[in-house]
Amino acid sequence: MNKIFYKLLGFVVASLVFLASVSSASACLFGHYQPQVPKSLQK
């Protein structure tokens, strides 16, 4: 059970990193508020 939970968390982290990369590649994601893009993702 614990193993599955940690694997799931790993998947969540990977998905979030992927989303952040996609978002930083676009001009903005949608809303009228833009959080600060991390320096490592600015291009």
Q: Residues near 19 by Cβ (< 8 Å), separated by ≥ 6?
A: none
Total residues binding another protein (CB under 8 A): 30
Q: Based on the number of CB atoms within 10 Å of its own CB, is 12 exposed (0-12), middle (13-18) or buried (19 or more)? A: exposed
Q: Which of residues 4-43 bind another protein (CB under 8 A)?
A: 6, 9-10, 12-13, 16-17, 19-20, 23-43
Q: Tell me if 1 contacts another protein by CB under 8 A.
A: no
CB of 3 to another protein, least distance (A): 13
CB of 37 to another protein, least distance (A): 4
